[in-house]
Structure 1
């Protein structure tokens, strides 16, 4: 029971990290793109 709980929390942390990493890359790409178009 305890192991399952920690593993599920670990999964959530991994997905949230991945989500924020993607958001950061996306924002960086948009800022670079807008600078290039100008």
Structure 2
């Protein structure tokens, strides 16, 4: 399981809120660290 700091989570939510395809953004961010 990936733990995310509260600051990072807030920032992610802000970025996701601005994007129309937020679900794809979440997936990209979630797996970005494994590339």
> Which TM-score band applies after superposition, normalised by the shorter structure?
0.3 to 0.5
With CA pairs under 8 Å and 6+ residues apart, which has the higher RCO, 1 or 2? 2
Greater share of residues in helix: 1
TM-score by length of 2: 0.42
TM-score by length of 1: 0.39
